[in-house]
Amino acid sequence: MKIGLLNGGGDCPGLNAVTHGVVGAATRLGWEVIGFKEGFEGLLSPVNCKTLKRSKTEGILKLGGTILGTSNRGRFSSKVGEGGVRKIPSEIMNEAIGNLRELGVEALVCAGGDGTLTTAMQFMEEGFPVVGVPKTIDNDLGATAMTFGFDSATQTVVDALDRLQTTAESHKRVMILEVMGRHAGWIALYGGIGGGASAILIPEIPFHYQKVAEALLDREARGFASSLVVVAEGACPAGEGKVYEETGGAGENRLGGVGESVAKKLGELTGKETRCTTLGHLQRGGSPTSFDRVLATRFGVKAVNLIEEKRFGRMVSYQQYHVGSVSIEKAVKKLNLVDPEGEIVRAAKSVGISFGDE
């Protein structure tokens, strides 16, 4: 059997480990794996692909980035605006599927987030077998308890906070760290708790500047002259909208800048010197953590198992320490958001972390 593999959306630590898992499992079955470069765009004429041999993928699971490349722009972009879905034109789908069949590819493994999986679902609707692998550092796919890349991104946030803590203490400053998280605040939440933040601002909990300022001033009154504040890019004050760096382009508008807004406002309210650092794509780069290497490898192997069982239209899913699967349709239907009343938020508040809501 010959199967295809591609990555879609933003890059993410662990993508190479997925490739390692897919190629390793497929090779044991005597199958051939064709890797398509630059995401779905690699399916179009001229086809941009290469045969993936186990001898060439054996040591790549520790590498960041992806040897296949990826794309979150182009003719296969299926997500527009805030949750809108775009139907891929039939002539583009027909060309891609025709090329796959001409190459003898019988099924396609698509590693990506909700946008990539939405496109993959359209391939299923056109009659071409696909299997999905959930990939997003935001950890916001509702049909899986964890996505690979999230743990690595969180560790980057913790490392940044450890470094910011020393300079904050030296100058008695409030240091603001803006992290990724368009709709879901998981990176900010886990990174903030792990990095000892005094306040965590996330999209799921509208915040009040005055409440955050009061928490920081209370810390100062208790003898703590410096503070760390983590802000997800999609967080916004109560009654206000999100802050965008760029609007009006193709696909979803680009968030960015809320960290600077928070720094300015908190400086005014507390009278303390504030500084903002935006991590940006540092969260996507570098080698994956051991957890992400293992999870991504398991995901790749499971994707091959699903093809072997002819269970197409499924997405690999991680639940209760077990790797299983769910339908792609279910996977893209609901985002995995932080529960404002959930155990982890309550635990954070119990150790004195402010979310700006009380």
* Catalytic one of 11, 138, 151, 292: 138
pLDDT of residue 244: 81
In a domain, residue 239? The reply is yes
Parallel, antiparallel, or unpaired: how do β-strands 32-36 and 49-51 relate? antiparallel
Residue 49 DSSP SS3? strand
Look up residue 215 and give its two tokens: 């928490």
pLDDT of residue 239: 87
- Asked whether the whole model's pTM tops 0.75, one would answer yes
Residue with tokens 């527009």: 80
In a domain, residue 52? The reply is yes
Residue with tokens 């890349």: 149
Give the angle 301-306-311 at the CA atoms, nearest 5°. 170
- Same domain as 25, residue 100: yes
CB 23 within 8 A of CB 61: no
- Same domain as 267, residue 174: yes
DSSP H stretches of helix in the chain: 15-28, 54-57, 90-103, 114-125, 150-171, 186-194, 209-221, 258-270, 290-308, 328-333, 343-350
- Same domain as 220, residue 129: no
- Same domain as 274, residue 318: no
In a domain, residue 197? The reply is yes
- Same domain as 160, residue 233: yes
- Say which CATH number the domain at 171 has: 3.40.50.460
Q: How many residues does the chain have?
A: 358
- Provide the residue type at 121 as one letter: M
- Same domain as 229, residue 295: no
- Same domain as 109, residue 26: yes
- Same domain as 191, residue 247: yes
Measure CA 14 to chain center: 11
In a domain, residue 357? The reply is no
In a domain, residue 355? The reply is no
pLDDT of residue 331: 86
Number of structural domains (the chain) is 2
- Same domain as 191, residue 90: no
CA atoms within 13 A on the CB side of 166: 4
194: how many CB neighbours lie within 10 A of its CB?
15
Average pLDDT along the chain, 358 residues, taken 10 residues at a time = 93 94 97 96 94 92 91 71 72 95 97 90 95 93 90 96 94 95 94 97 96 96 95 93 68 78 95 94 92 96 98 95 93 90 97 94
- Say which CATH number the domain at 18 has: 3.40.50.450
Domain of 30 in residue numbering reads as 2-148+289-333
Q: State how far the Cα of 193 lies from the Cα of 187, in Å rounded to an integer.
A: 10
Known catalytic membership, residue 138: yes
